[in-house]
């Protein structure tokens, strides 16, 4: 936080510097043809809707890493992902806070929601912006932890919410317990929808065979134990997983098996035929 020793002049310079970086960053992103969402502040409401909000609890005053502050409750248009002001409209307020910070005056804690390891600002956007501009690594914050059905790992931009949303819908349709769900991973988001349909079809055939109704929890549990894990083991032993995830290999060869053989069974003969005609 080097400066001239004149807080007013330094605050003015701080604001101009951070605005210049924001403009240059936006220009560079456009020249690189990056998606717009890469530099956007994550919207809290969208994130928790996608992840499936289950509850919240107050954690009180904590020290929060500024790099984990990536979203906002209601100021997504005023700042970019790194909390640099998008315009000069709030310059007076921003510089007033910067002057106070440079004078060593006490700054009130911000107020945030915590979702996984991510933090979303309820109050204190300008304080976050100034702290980042002055090179601080952390701030004090009143934290409210929000719990969700799906974890927030891997969310870097709004585009990642599509994957999380389809994964949450998959969990609604195939309600697996946490340890089992953690093994179901795909790289193409729409594969979650295709996998949901595959599991539901498997469950329908199971109910026809047993002549009784099974709820989604029972179908999911039995599909994972009686179908998914044994088939994945067979595919791995036959060296058919390759560069795919286990779930992608299962989905690919399940569809391929029916296209080639018009059967729903799995055995060594079926796997051998798939090995000779894997695509």
Tens digits of residue pLDDT in 174-183: 999 989 999 9
- Give the residue-averaged pLDDT of 100-108: 88
pLDDT attached to residue 38? 62
Two structure tokens written together for 119: 């933090």
Residue 258's pLDDT is 66
List C-alpha distances in Å: 48 to 72, 208, 255, 279.
Answer: 12, 38, 33, 38
Whether the pTM exceeds 0.95: the reply is: no
Q: Are residues 35 and 121 in the same domain?
A: yes
Average pLDDT on 2-26 reads: 74
Is 110 in the same domain as 18? yes
> Is position 137 within any domain?
yes
pLDDT attached to residue 271: 73
In a domain, 167, yes or no: no
Taking residues 186-197, what's their average pLDDT?
Answer: 92
Domain hosting 19: range is 7-148
Contacts of 230 (CB under 8 A, 6+ apart): 266
Residues 18, 141, single domain; the answer is: yes
Q: Are residues 18 and 66 in the same domain?
A: yes
| Total domain count, the chain | 2
My answer on whether 128 and 181 are in the same domain is: no
The token duo for 267 is 């055995």
What's the CA gap between 227 and 180, in Å, rounded?
13
Strand 53-65 and strand 138-148: the pairing is antiparallel
**Cβ atoms 277, 260 nearer than 8 A:** yes
Mean of the pLDDT values across residues 104-122? 94
Q: Model confidence over 196-244: pLDDT tens digits?
A: 999 999 999 999 999 999 999 999 999 999 999 999 999 999 898 888 9
């Amino acid at each position: 936080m080097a400066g001239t020793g004149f807080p007013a002049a330094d605050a003015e310079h701080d604001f101009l510097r951070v605005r210049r970086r924001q403009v240059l960053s936006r220009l560079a992103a456009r020249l690189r043809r990056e998606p717009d969402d890469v530099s956007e502040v994550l919207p809290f409401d969208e994130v928790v809707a996608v992840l499936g909000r289950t509850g919240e609890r107050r954690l009180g005053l904590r020290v929060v890493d500024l790099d984990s502050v990536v979203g906002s409750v209601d100021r997504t248009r005023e700042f970019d992902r790194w909390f640099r002001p998008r315009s000069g409209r709030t310059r007076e307020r921003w510089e007033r806070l910067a002057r106070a910070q440079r004078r060593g005056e006490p700054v009130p804690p911000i107020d945030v929601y915590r979702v996984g390891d991510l933090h979303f600002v309820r109050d204190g956007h300008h304080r976050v912006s100034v702290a980042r501009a002055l090179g601080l690594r952390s701030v004090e914050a009143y934290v409210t932890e929000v719990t969700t059905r799906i974890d927030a790992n891997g969310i870097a931009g709004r585009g990642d919410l599509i994957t999380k949303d389809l994964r949450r819908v998959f969990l609604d349709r195939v309600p697996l317990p946490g340890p089992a769900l953690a093994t179901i991973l795909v790289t193409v988001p729409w594969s979650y929808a295709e996998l949901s349909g595959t599991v539901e079809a498997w469950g329908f055939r199971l109910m026809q065979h047993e002549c009784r109704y099974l709820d989604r929890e029972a179908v999911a549990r039995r599909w994972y134990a009686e179908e998914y894990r044994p088939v994945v083991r067979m595919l791995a032993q036959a060296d058919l997983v390759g560069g795919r995830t286990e779930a992608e290999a299962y989905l690919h060869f399940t569809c391929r098996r029916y296209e080639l053989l018009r059967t729903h069974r799995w055995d060594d003969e079926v796997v051998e035929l798939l090995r000779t005609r894997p695509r």
